[in-house]
Amino acid sequence: MAFLQDKILYSGLLVFCMTIVVSSHSRPYSPPSVAHLTDYFPHVSIDQGFSKSFGGSNVQLISNGSMANLALDKTSGAGLVSKNKYYYGFFSAAIKLPSGLSSGVVVAFYLSNADTFPHNHDEIDIELLGHDKRNDWAFQTNIYANGSVSTGREEKFYLWFDPTEQHHQYSIIWNSYHTVFLVDNIPVREFIHNSAFSFVYPSKPMSVYATIWDGSEWATHGGKYPVNYKYAPFVVSFANVEMSGCIWNPTAQVSSCSKAGTSSYDPVEGPEFVKLSKQQIEAMDWARRKLMFYSYCKDTSRFKVLPPECK
């Protein structure tokens, strides 16, 4: 175990926080048992559900289009974007991260509508941040609405496994009740919708993205460790993608959508998705106590007045 001073860049401000650095191999954590929400929905073939967003030849579809390898090298990163936009739902992907030294590398699975609303877009982010020789991959979540990037609501976690050895599931529940981030079906964060500050809650239809890119300026210790292309290409594998909920119909009213998928479970209004169970709450408490190392709600140097939901 070692202590490092973690320098995080937020909108031009450098935030320093003490971080305990622990190898994932030294964490004797066995995650709690929870319902496997990822078992409820069918997988979406990547070649049918997505288009190339950027990267050209750095995007490779394999296994008859059911999986994709995305690469980052000196020429480009790579990305996929869903062919449909969604207005609430359950979104998940099994991801295997690049092995070896990966400082500055960012792998993301997220929802955004920046293409449609460039000045007031919404976003729900899962970002996996590469590591230096002394650290593990970090799992970062963020959520913002109406372009409020400067008031990002980041939380960072370590993982209880080595994410480079095999695929692990990273999931998002998004409906009018809350947004929940899950790792291998363990909830690690719940952002509850509150009408008192609805302006911070994503409410417009969004596309689903899967990307790998160069985050040298901020991703690893605030940019201290940029991408070292000596170790390129960095290849991430996406598989077992699930996108179930409301497919937005752009020709109808904003709130109009049709159900995506054939599952009998409803991630928009179903009881399994609008409220966490006692078992899920206990599992989330476990993850936050043992694995979270940064929360914007505790960052008083960044916020003179903490955002309203922190209270």
Residue numbers annotated as active site: 123, 127
Element at 279 (helix H, strand E): helix 278-291
Separation between Cα atoms, residue 309 and residue 161, nearest integer Å:
30
Count CA atoms closer than 13 A to 167's CA, side-chain side.
14
CA distance 90 to 47: 19
Q: Report the amino acid identity of residue 78.
A: A
* CA-based nearest residue to 109, from 170, 168, 62: 170
For residue 168, the surrounding DSSP H or E stretch is strand 168-174
Is there a contact between 48 and 84 (Cβ–Cβ < 8 Å)? Answer: no
- Name the DSSP class of 164: T
Tokens of 277: 């169970």
Tracing tokens 């990002």 back to the chain, one arrives at: 152
Q: Which of 143, 169, 166, 163 lies closest to 154 in space, CA to CA?
A: 143
Q: What are the tokens at 111?
A: 């929802």
Structure token digits, residue 100: 């070896």
Rounded CA-CA distance 250/257 in Å is 9
* Nearest alpha-carbon partner for 208 in 59, 57, 49: 49
CA distances from 148 to 92, 112, 129, 218 (A): 25, 13, 22, 19
Q: Count of CB atoms within 10 A of residue 216's CB?
A: 18
193 close to 53: Cβ distance less than 8 angstroms:
no
